Structure 1
Amino acid sequence: MSAPSADDLLVLLAVGRTGRFTTAADDLGVNHTTIARRIAALEKSLGGRVLARASGGWELTELGRSALAAAERIEAAVAGLAGPDGDRGLEGVVRVSATDGFSAYIAAPAGALVRRRHPGVAVEIVAATRRASQQRSGLDLEVVVGRPQVHRAEAHRLADYTLGLYAARDYVAEHGAPTTVRELSRHPLVYFIDSMLQVDDLDLARRIAPDMHESVSSTNVFVHVEATRAAAGLGLLPCFMADRHADLVRILPGEVEARLNYWMVARSETLRRPEVAAVVAAIRETVHAQRSVLLGRPVA
């Protein structure tokens, strides 16, 4: 066996982080065939398989994880040649998938924070309310609602947040505000489309207000907020979104509410990338700064 090529190891690093040859090829500016040839050469030099096929992509073998650790040391050594500025020279694209509300009010300001600190890092935000993917091809970080069941990835709890029931002041003026849970059955509900809801933890309406009938429903929480503001009914809304609008009032606080949590999911090797670590740090910082807002508490 010959010594592995540093270039081949860096190709493995790209594939290990993305799980796909095509994505790694795009990141490295080469074609898919070159990636396959480099991986084959690396496996020949190491005397074993470094990648194994998985659903929708590739996963590292035990030998591959050892080789990837060596590749990370090579990457760090090359980065160290940039000079004493350290992580201020970070570059790259970090793609984050998160729910609509988290994307707008946490991920977006966190992305702006990253850009101020590291102008060479671009943050892409994909807004989607869904379960954590079993194959994270094309994504560096996922933020989901509820504890995810994932394999070959790390899951970290980010923050708790509260959902409450809200009504527009115009709606209350016309229909009155319910004063008991039993009275909710006389009012329509604004929430997710039940048949299209993918997240089990968000399936709250039937438990919190089982007798309410649907009014305007949507897969997008911003639609919930605006429909509620337009007096379509009572909206079951994240407090950190609804409390921003003076024309919305909380209905039965303390009686009708739910505490949910955000979780972050990523591959272990992805989290070790300096630019990804910078985005994670900014997200955690933004979450910490808005903790009381997420929980629906008054801002001091």
Structure 2
Amino acid sequence: MAGSGKLGWGDLHVLHAVASTGSLSQAAALLGTSHPTVFRRIQAIEQTLGATLFERSRQGYRATAAAAELLELAEHIAQRLNDMSAPAAHGAVGGTVLLSTTETMLPTVLPPVLARLRESAPGILVALDIADGLANLQRREADVALRAGGQPPDDLVGRVVCGIETAVYRPAAWRPVDEARLAAVPWVCLDDGFAHLASLQWLKQRGLLARAAARCNSTVAVMRLAEQGMGLAVLPCYLGDASPALRRVLPPQPQFRSGLWLLSHASTRGVARIGAVLEALGDGLRRQADLFEGRRPWPEP
């Protein structure tokens, strides 16, 4: 309670109501209390924290930067309470889930998974963020993330859905290229922003970057250019093997191997909408394990 030097859910509930409505009168109506009571509660909370939480103007009450963390916590608690009551009250799971992933998941693997999720849980809105899934999840700007790589940080929980294999591909219109001729043909490569990747290090060590006809900051762009005949490309098998315009030159290289992680925060365990998305993603992606792990190559014509 505000006078004791500690805040409870009641205090957060008041802050959330004022921030969401921008008005003491509307917040009071939402809370089932009076305008003066809400005013006194805000004053007491600000006194306890020693910070101004709202700017007052003719336009209403607007939260300050000092209130941001408290409001984030209030929103999280409100959503958790809603998740816990919604299934019992309505028999369905609903709400928004922020899914952070990479653009490489979109051309082939994610659309059918999200379509099946929509059929099983039509009340869930999936908000896709095509960015750095791990960083977004750690900053709590996402609820769920798909990430290729090794063991995630301790503050995240998750599991490896399947392995990811990577191979060298040529345009299907080209004649076969053997390993001895790799340096004799053009390449399409990622740029130095991806210098940490084993595949780009492999290209650099072999001197193949010098044969680049184009370099990109997008793996999907590399694939599209290779499909158009611009050169060889190193691609994950779930992109290369799914494209009828590409053919393998080399089998999957062990040094490129990684895992597909499905990640979330430990604090979201038990949240119905997030659990539903995790279950749908895990099941749908495991169904495509042969594609991810390089066991479904396109046959040579």
TM above 0.5, yes or no, is yes
Aligned length: 255
* Structure exhibiting the larger radius of gyration computed from Cα positions: 2
Cα separation, partners in 2 of 1:290 and 1:170, compared to 1, 3 Å: same
CA contact (8 A) 1:144 1:264 kept: yes
Of 216-225 and 91-100, more deviation after overlay is shown by 216-225
Partner residue, 1:297: 295
Partner residue, 2:177: 178
SS at match of 1:281: helix
CA shift at 1:6, angstroms?
5.4
Q: Distance in 2 between matches of 1:190 and 1:164?
A: 14
Note the residue ranges of structure 1 that are not aligned, 5 or more in a row.
13-23, 45-56
1:125 matched to 2:124? The reply is no
1:1-300 matched pairs, under 5 angstroms: 8=11, 29-30=20-21, 58=69, 74-75=81-82, 78-79=85-86, 81-83=88-90, 85=91, 88=92, 90-128=93-131, 132-133=135-136, 135-147=138-150, 149-172=152-175, 177-180=176-179, 182-193=180-191, 195-197=192-194, 200=196, 202-207=197-202, 210-212=206-208, 213-253=211-251, 258-298=256-296
CA shift at 1:140, angstroms?
1.0
Alignment RMSD, CA only?
4.1
**Deviations along 1:58-93, whole A, 9 cap, x unmatched?**
59xxxx9xx99998885465335515x2xx2x2211
TM-score (norm 2): 0.68
SS at match of 1:160: strand
Partner residue, 2:65: none
Q: Distance in 1 between matches of 2:199 and 2:282?
A: 27
Identity %: 21
Q: Distance in 1 between matches of 2:266 and 2:250?
A: 43
CA contact (8 A) 2:104 2:220 kept: yes
Q: Distance in 1 between matches of 2:23 and 2:151?
A: 32
Q: Distance in 1 between matches of 2:254 and 2:228?
A: 21
Of 121-130 and 270-279, more deviation after overlay is shown by 121-130
Of 73-82 and 153-162, more deviation after overlay is shown by 73-82
CA contact (8 A) 1:148 1:155 kept: no
CA contact (8 A) 2:165 2:252 kept: no
CA shift at 1:171, angstroms?
3.1
Cα separation, partners in 2 of 1:25 and 1:224, compared to 1, 3 Å: farther
CA shift at 1:163, angstroms?
1.1
CA contact (8 A) 1:132 1:144 kept: no
Cα separation, partners in 2 of 1:118 and 1:131, compared to 1, 3 Å: closer
Q: Distance in 2 between matches of 1:74 and 1:94?
A: 15
Cα separation, partners in 2 of 1:101 and 1:77, compared to 1, 3 Å: closer
Cα separation, partners in 2 of 1:80 and 1:251, compared to 1, 3 Å: closer
Q: Distance in 2 between matches of 1:107 and 1:247?
A: 20
CA shift at 1:223, angstroms?
1.1
SS at match of 2:251: coil
Partner AA of 1:82 in structure 2? A
CA shift at 1:238, angstroms?
1.6
SS at match of 1:170: coil
CA contact (8 A) 1:165 1:257 kept: no
Cα separation, partners in 2 of 1:5 and 1:294, compared to 1, 3 Å: same
CA contact (8 A) 1:163 1:239 kept: yes
Partner AA of 1:282 in structure 2? A
CA contact (8 A) 1:97 1:142 kept: yes
